[in-house]
Amino acid sequence: MKKVFSSLRSLLWCHWAMVRKKGSLILCGAFLFVAWNALLLLFLWGRPPIGRLGEVGGAEPGGREEWGVGAGRGSRVDLAGEVIRLAEEVESELETQKHLLKQIQSHRSLWERRKGVGKREMEAVKEGEVKSGGENEKGRSSSSPSPPPPKEKGLDKAEQDVGRIAQGSKVPPPVPESKPDDKQEERTAKEAERTAKEAEPSATTAAGPPPVVIPILVIACDRVTVKRSLDKLIQYRPSAELHPIIVSQDCGHAETSQVIGSYGDQVTHLKQPDIGDIRVRPEHRKFQGYYKISRHYRWALNQVFNVFSYSNVVIVEDDLEVAPDFFEYFRALYPILRSDPTLWCVSAWNDNGRDGLVDPGKAGLLYRTDFFPGLGWMLLKELWAELEPKWPSAFWDDWMRQPDQRRDRSCIRPEISRTITFGRKGVSLGQFFDQYLRYIKLNTEFVPFTKLDLSYLVRERYNERFEREVYGAPLVQVEELQQGGRLKGEGPFRVQYSSRDNFKVLARNLGVMDDLKSGVPRAGYRGVVSFLSRGRRIYLAPPPGWSHYDTSWS
C-alpha cells in the first residue's frame, strides 16, 4: 500500500512540475482526475484477500485484531463495513477532484489573461534589451528588469491545491457553495477582466526602452584651440553616459594631443593611424588637405558605427563652439530624423544666421532645408552604411550636396545657429569667414525642445503650411524692401527670382549668401530662402509651381 501511494505521489509530483512549467492547468486537472481513479481501481483489484475465519494476518498490520478475524458472523459484518468505508473514501476523493476541476474551470479565463500579460511583458523586456544592446558600451546606462505582474488570488489557490495533491497531502475540504448561476459567472468574468487591466499598465510602463545614447564626435587635427570646443561641450552636456564625447585626431600634432589627453576619462581620444600624404593628381596637390580630411572622416565614422556600435552620431569640428541647448536640440530631433525617411540629417547651423537676418524672438523656430549645412550635424548608422561604400576621396561636403547622395532628402536647421566657428585658419584659407561666418549669431536662450511638439517638421504637414505661407505672401520688389517706408504691414513679403544670375543679384542686395551647390541655394527649401530684412520676414522664392532644382545653376 505504501509503495503504491509513494508511486502515486511521485507520478503526480512530476506531472505537476511539468504542468507548472507549461502552464496547462486544465490538462493537469483532467490528468489528475483520470489517474487518481485508475490507481484506486488498481489498488482495490490488486489488494491481497482480507483475512478469513481462522487465518492469521491480513493485508494490513494487526492482522487478526485489525480485521476481527475469528469472530464468526461478526467478521462478515466488519468486511461489509470496511467495503462501505472504502467506498465512502473514494466518493470523498471524487468530490474533492470534482471541486478542484470546478476551481480550475472558474479560473480558466483569468489564467489565460495572465498568460497574455506575461507574454507581453517578456516581449517588451526583450525589445528593450535589443534596443539597448547596440548602445550598451562604455559610460552607458542600463535599464532595470520589469517587475512581475501581480498574482491573482484565485489562481494561487488552485495552484496550491494541485501542489498538495501532487505531494500526497490532503486538500482542505471544499467550502459549501451554491450552484453557480449566470450572474455568478458574470461577476467572476468581470473580476478577472478588472484584475488583468490592473496588471497590464505596470508591465507596459516598466518595460519602456532606455533613453537613446547620442555620442558627439569631435574631428580634430592640429588646433590646440580644440580646448574651447571641448570645454563648452563638457559644460553643457546633461549626461556623460547619454552623450559620450569621442575626439578623433588626425595629423599627429603633439601639442593638440596633449590638450585632448588632459581631459582624462571625460573624453575618448582616438588617433587616426594613417597620417601620410595621399597620392593625387598634380593639379590637386594644393588640395592635399581636403583629401586627408575626407580620409579622416571615413575612418572616424567607421570607428563610431562599426567599432563602438552606436546607432547615431553628432559630428562637430575642433573649431566649433556649441550653444547651451545644443544637446537638447539634437535629443528632441532624433525621433523626427529616425521616423521620417525624407530627412537625412539634423544640423545646428544656419548659413544665413547673421545677426539682423534672424529673428531673435524666435529661438525655437526650425526649418527643413534641401541644402546640406554641416557644421554640427547628426546622421544615423543606416545613412553611413549607404554612403561609406562610395565615400569620396576629397571635398566630402560638396559631394554630400550632389543629387545622387541627397536623393531629394532634406535636413532640419534652426532659425538661430546652435554652433559658431572660430577657426579662420584652415584648409579653406578663411573662405567666407571674414564676409559671413564670423558674424553668425550663436543662440544663448535655452529652448526646451524635448517638451515641444515638433511633428510639424514631418514633410507632409510642413509642405502644406510652407506653400501657403510663402506664396500667400504679397509679392514685392527688392527696391521696395530697401526703401522700407513704402511697404505696408509687418510682412511676410515675397521677392521672386527667375534665373541663376537673377538670384545672385537679389541675394547680394539683400545680404544673404548667393552661392548655389547643385542648384540648391544655401538654407533653401524648395528653392525658397527665408530670412529677415529690416525686421520683416522675407521669402526669396522661385515662381509658383516650382518642381525641381536645376543642377546647371552651380
pLDDT tens string 61-103: 444 444 444 444 444 445 666 666 666 776 766 776 666 666 6
| Confidence (pLDDT) at 156 | 45
Q: Give the burial class of 316: count Cβ atoms within 10 A of its Cβ; 0-12 exposed, 13-18 middle, 19 or more buried.
A: buried
**pLDDT at 486 (0 to 100):** 75
Q: What is the pLDDT of residues 501-553, one digit of tens each?
A: 999 999 999 999 999 999 999 999 999 999 999 899 999 999 999 999 999 99
pLDDT value at residue 292: 97
The single residue of 78, 222, 397, 398 carrying the catalytic annotation is: 397
pLDDT tier at 20, thresholds 50, 70, 90: low
pLDDT beyond 80 at 376: yes
Residue 532, SS3 per DSSP: strand
pLDDT, tens only, 177-207: 444 455 555 555 555 455 444 444 443 344 5
- What would you measure as the largest C-alpha separation in the chain, in angstroms? 137
For residue 464, is pLDDT > 70? Answer: yes
| Element containing residue 544 per DSSP (H, E) | none
254-281 in b/e burial notation, b at 16+ Cβ within 10 A? Answer: eebbebbeebeeebbbbebeeeeebeee
Query: What's the chain's average pLDDT?
Result: 78
Instruction: Give dist(CA 162, CA 19) in Å, integer.
Output: 10
Q: What per-residue confidence (pLDDT) applies to 142?
A: 39
The predicted model gives 253-273 an average pLDDT of: 97
The percentage of the chain sitting over the pLDDT mark of 70, rounded to a whole number, equals 62
CA angle at residue 531 from 526 to 535, to 5 degrees?
Answer: 150
Spatial distance between the Cα atoms of 58 and 121, rounded to a whole number of angstroms: 59
Cα 495 to the center of its chain, rounded Å:
44
Instruction: Judge if the upstream peptide bond of residue 176 is cis by omega within 30 degrees of 0.
Output: no
Task: Look at residue 214 and tell me whether its pLDDT is greater than 60.
Answer: yes
One-character DSSP codes across 362-389: -TT-EEEESS---SSEEEEHHHHHHHGG
Mind listing the pLDDT tens digit for each residue in 240-251? Answer: 999 999 999 999
Asked if residue 554 has pLDDT above 70, the reply is yes
Please report, rounded to a whole number, the percentage of residues in the chain having pLDDT higher than 90: 56
Least Cα distance to 269 among 243, 250, 286 occurs for 250
Question: What is the distance between the alpha carbons of residues 226 and 247, in angstroms, rounded to a whole number?
Answer: 10
pLDDT of residue 487: 82
Residue with cell 575626407: 294
Q: Is the pLDDT of residue 324 over 70?
A: yes
Per-residue pLDDT at 176? 43
Whether the per-residue pLDDT at 135 is higher than 60: the answer is: no
Where residue 438 falls among pLDDT bands split at 50, 70, 90?
confident
- pLDDT reported for residue 28: 62
Lowest model confidence (mean pLDDT) among 162-176, 201-215, 389-403 = 162-176
Whether 397 is a known active-site residue: answer: yes
Looking at the whole model, is its pTM more than 0.75? no
* pLDDT value of residue 483: 79
pLDDT of residue 206: 47
Contact 444, 324 (CB under 8 A): yes
Of 24 and 273, the structure prediction assigns the larger pLDDT to: 273
pLDDT value for 489: 85
User: Is the pLDDT higher at 96 or at 159?
Assistant: 96
